Structure 1
Amino acid sequence: MDRGALKALFKGMVEDRRYLHRHPELSFMEKETADYVQKRLEKLGVEVTAGVGGFGIIGRVRGGRPGKTVALRADMDALPIQDEKDCDYASGVPGVMHACGHDGHTAVLLALAEYYSGRREELSGEVRLLFQPAEEVCPGGAVSMIEAGALNGVDVIYGVHLWTPIPAGTAMSAAGPLMASTDEFFIDVQGKGGHGGMPHRTIDSVVAASALVLQLQSVVSRSVDPLNPAVVTVGSIQGGTAQNVIADRCRLSGTVRCFDEDTRELIRTRIHELAAGTAAAYGATANVDYMMGYPCLVNHPGEFQRFYESGAPDAGLKPATSPKIMPAEDFAYYLRQVPGCFMLVGAGNAEKGAVYPHHHPRFDIDEEAMLHAALLMAAMADAYFAEHASGSGA
């Protein structure tokens, strides 16, 4: 890996990231972002396939010699959040901002496109660059890109997330489960409305739904093995229109997070059972709309070892083993198809104001972390190519 060449691309990373930060687009609406990426890749002479699974872009850098295919992925979508930062690259789109670092991910992958396009002759194999839409909203963009052939012929895949809870200079990952699965549920409790002063002639959906909220808190504490981390959160309860009217319907919605499929199915079953039983106890009925979202993200143990023993150190980063974290990532779908590793690159820095959590209206990153991410991705790819080079005995 040529550190000097990658460091020389840092200024361009910052320019790309700030442009994208000023021009964010929501999930499944990344048309201008995709056009920007496509033009940048074509200018570099990279082989481009556009419109992959929606607004996805695939860039291929084929080496001068045959070999393995390494895929590197970045997500491109922003969030429906008003940017409250006071800086010259703040979002110019009302109510939309890059509050999770995806602009930085895209800038990193564009830099890697330039890096590898200048090294075609010495490259044994292919570097495949996946610019993915719609990570933030289920069903996500990974599945549609896979269905469109993005992983055809791919031997290994790497991805990074710029992560402000970790200080710049550190990178974290884990062998096996790293990020939780994420499911959503919507429960409509149906009662019988009426006058607030005559509750005996009604079936109060709000009371039944309130009881259900409390019952759902027992799922993790009394049904799930305490050694298996899991979360059931009711995020909203909506019912009623006036203070003197008993509502005939009340809706609950929430999220479920866990790290294995048995626990995931157990929680789903218990939510259905509790909804039906609790509603019936109050004379009401409940309809559950349960949406299975992203699966748990599970890293390949051998690729985690590559990260820990060579990738992060070669990139000049301090490697660390991450605990399991409850945020979810549709990169999980790629890892179900081919071996790989998803890595968290520290992007937090109090001196630069990079202290706000992801999805916060004042979210920002230490932009030096983009260089760290590029170095890490290149180190992982190059280590994989070196291990599988012809004549290596691997």
Structure 2
Amino acid sequence: MLVTDLDSRLTELYEEMVSLRRHFHQHPELSFEERETPRTIAAYLRELGLDVREHVGGNGVVGRIHGGDGPTIAFRADFDALPIQDLKDVPYRSKVNGSMHACGHDAHTATLLVLAKALTEIDLPGDVVLIHQFAEELAPGGAKPMIEDGCLDGVDYIYGSHIWTPLPFGTVGVKTGPIMAAADRFELTVKGKGGHGAIPQHTVDAVMVGTNIVSQLQQVISRRIDPLEPAVLTVGTFVAGQAFNVIADEAKLSGTVRTFTPETQTRIITEMERTIAHICSASEAHYELDYIRGYPAVINHATETDHVRRSAARVVGTDGVIEMAPLMVGEDFAYYMQHVPGSFFFTGAGNPEVGAVFPHHHPRFDVDERAMLHTARILMQAAFETWNMHKKED
């Protein structure tokens, strides 16, 4: 098969791609609990004649297609699901109570498997490594342990994509530099002195202290961070008290911080600690702050993103390629690009005609499955762009 025939071959394999996606959608497995999914992936890749490693870093699977002496290019797809009840009325609705693919990882996996099948049918200029990753949804995630277990050994470049319903089908989102944020979380316990609701003078009201902290933390972003530097600080939970007439002696808060640079991240941590310490000291309260650094920011490399941009234009047309603004959501694909150059892009999958109108992590989430074909073609084109660049340099 000629390289120019790959596009039509992927079209021929599209129904298999859909079938695989729907199989995974009906049988979701939560982060770090994946068992049958990686077994299915490994069996499919072995049937193609690939070298396959299982249990990479935990539940990961890595396959290798051997090619010529050109650079080795990796593609990554994640395969974990979310603890959400599937409420869609479709034949392929999740069969697992309380678990569903509400983010598109089933589509990522099906795309990469069928792309692998097409690539095995031609002579490749270099090796292709297929990284099937577990546990993207739940920090500390699967990327880091898979890297530590050698999934990037010998890899020169890496590409990945996310099916994305906020973008309409027929579009592709690309961006050089920071495209997704570092995603941290924090847990704060405020310790006061409880007492009778009618005798507040003898207490240290943990609810009052906690609400002051919530209010003042908003100034960390608005008054301590450069307004041209994107950052988010959100308090997501506040739990305190057990009775209407009792002043709570303890309040528990949790939230998230999103940043794009280590400098901004460090500044926010410092200012949070200072603000909380000052309020608690003034109120004669005590506190415990646990700040957990999550995935780092996803930083796309320039040359590889140019490859994706040109590849996407060939697939969806120049007008379909969108220069994205950075997103505040997190992705552990960031770890791969700390080791090798690469690019991560978003494939538009929103379409009201097929019910793909709900946001990611919604119980009625679905995608326009044709976006899988776009993803496969762009990954394929980006790989050949990379190989051709090196051929010219030689």
TM band (smaller chain):
over 0.9
User: 1:158-182: CA deviations, max 9, x gaps?
Assistant: 0000000001111111110000111
Q: Does 1:6 align with 2:6?
A: no
Write the distance in 1 (CA, Å) between the matches of 2:328 and 2:381: 27
Alpha-carbon shift at residue 315 of structure 1 (Å): 2.3
Aligned residue in 1 for 2:261: 260
User: 1:232-257: CA deviations, max 9, x gaps?
Assistant: 00000001111112111101100001
Write the distance in 2 (CA, Å) between the matches of 1:320 and 1:357: 19
Write the distance in 2 (CA, Å) between the matches of 1:215 and 1:393: 55
Q: Does 1:221 align with 2:225?
A: no
Aligned residue in 1 for 2:313: 313
Alignment of 1:27-176 (within 5 A): 27-63=31-67, 65-119=68-122, 122-176=123-177
Aligned residue in 2 for 1:210: 211
Point out the more displaced range, 102-111 or 192-201: 192-201
Write the distance in 2 (CA, Å) between the matches of 1:336 and 1:380: 19
The AA in structure 1 aligned to 2:145 is S
The AA in structure 1 aligned to 2:138 is V
Alpha-carbon shift at residue 258 of structure 1 (Å): 1.3
2:187 and 2:254 in contact (8 A); partners too: yes
The AA in structure 2 aligned to 1:283 is E
1:72 and 1:129 in contact (8 A); partners too: yes
Write the distance in 2 (CA, Å) between the matches of 1:393 and 1:19: 43
Aligned residue in 2 for 1:289: 290
1:315 is paired with a residue whose SS is: helix
Aligned residue in 2 for 1:360: 362
- Using the aligned pairs only, state the percent identity: 48
1:292 is paired with a residue whose SS is: strand
Alpha-carbon shift at residue 314 of structure 1 (Å): 2.5
User: 1:73-127: CA deviations, max 9, x gaps?
Assistant: 00011111111100010111111110000000000010111011222xx212100
Write the distance in 2 (CA, Å) between the matches of 1:254 and 1:278: 18
Aligned residue in 1 for 2:328: 326
Write the distance in 2 (CA, Å) between the matches of 1:17 and 1:388: 34
2:69 is paired with a residue whose SS is: strand
Alpha-carbon shift at residue 304 of structure 1 (Å): 1.2
Mark the runs of 5 or more structure 2 residues left unpaired by the alignment. Answer: none
Q: Does 1:299 align with 2:303?
A: no
The AA in structure 2 aligned to 1:381 is A
Write the distance in 1 (CA, Å) between the matches of 2:284 and 2:166: 47
Write the distance in 2 (CA, Å) between the matches of 1:29 and 1:45: 27
The AA in structure 2 aligned to 1:238 is V
The AA in structure 2 aligned to 1:313 is A
Alpha-carbon shift at residue 186 of structure 1 (Å): 0.5
Q: Which runs of 4+ in 1 moved over 4 A?
A: none
1:187 and 1:275 in contact (8 A); partners too: no
Alpha-carbon shift at residue 393 of structure 1 (Å): 2.8
The AA in structure 2 aligned to 1:129 is L
2:201 is paired with a residue whose SS is: helix
1:26 and 1:96 in contact (8 A); partners too: yes
Write the distance in 1 (CA, Å) between the matches of 2:118 and 2:269: 46
2:304 and 2:386 in contact (8 A); partners too: no
Write the distance in 1 (CA, Å) between the matches of 2:243 and 2:120: 64
2:73 and 2:155 in contact (8 A); partners too: yes
Write the distance in 2 (CA, Å) between the matches of 1:160 and 1:88: 26
2:64 and 2:127 in contact (8 A); partners too: yes
The AA in structure 2 aligned to 1:224 is I
Write the distance in 2 (CA, Å) between the matches of 1:220 and 1:363: 32
1:46 and 1:113 in contact (8 A); partners too: no
User: 1:208-237: CA deviations, max 9, x gaps?
Assistant: 001100011111100000000110000000
Write the distance in 2 (CA, Å) between the matches of 1:345 and 1:185: 31
Write the distance in 2 (CA, Å) between the matches of 1:245 and 1:126: 67
How many residues align? The count is: 388
Alpha-carbon shift at residue 320 of structure 1 (Å): 1.8
1:41 and 1:59 in contact (8 A); partners too: yes
2:180 and 2:260 in contact (8 A); partners too: yes
2:102 and 2:360 in contact (8 A); partners too: yes
User: 1:136-175: CA deviations, max 9, x gaps?
Assistant: 1111110001000111111100000000000111111111
1:240 and 1:246 in contact (8 A); partners too: yes
Write the distance in 1 (CA, Å) between the matches of 2:267 and 2:183: 14
Write the distance in 2 (CA, Å) between the matches of 1:55 and 1:273: 40
Write the distance in 2 (CA, Å) between the matches of 1:354 and 1:316: 19
1:293 is paired with a residue whose SS is: strand
User: 1:306-364: CA deviations, max 9, x gaps?
Assistant: 111x2112323522211111111100111111100000000000111101000111000
Superposed CA RMSD in Å reads: 1.0
1:73 is paired with a residue whose SS is: strand
Alpha-carbon shift at residue 193 of structure 1 (Å): 1.2
2:171 and 2:322 in contact (8 A); partners too: yes
The TM-score with structure 2 as length reference comes to 0.97
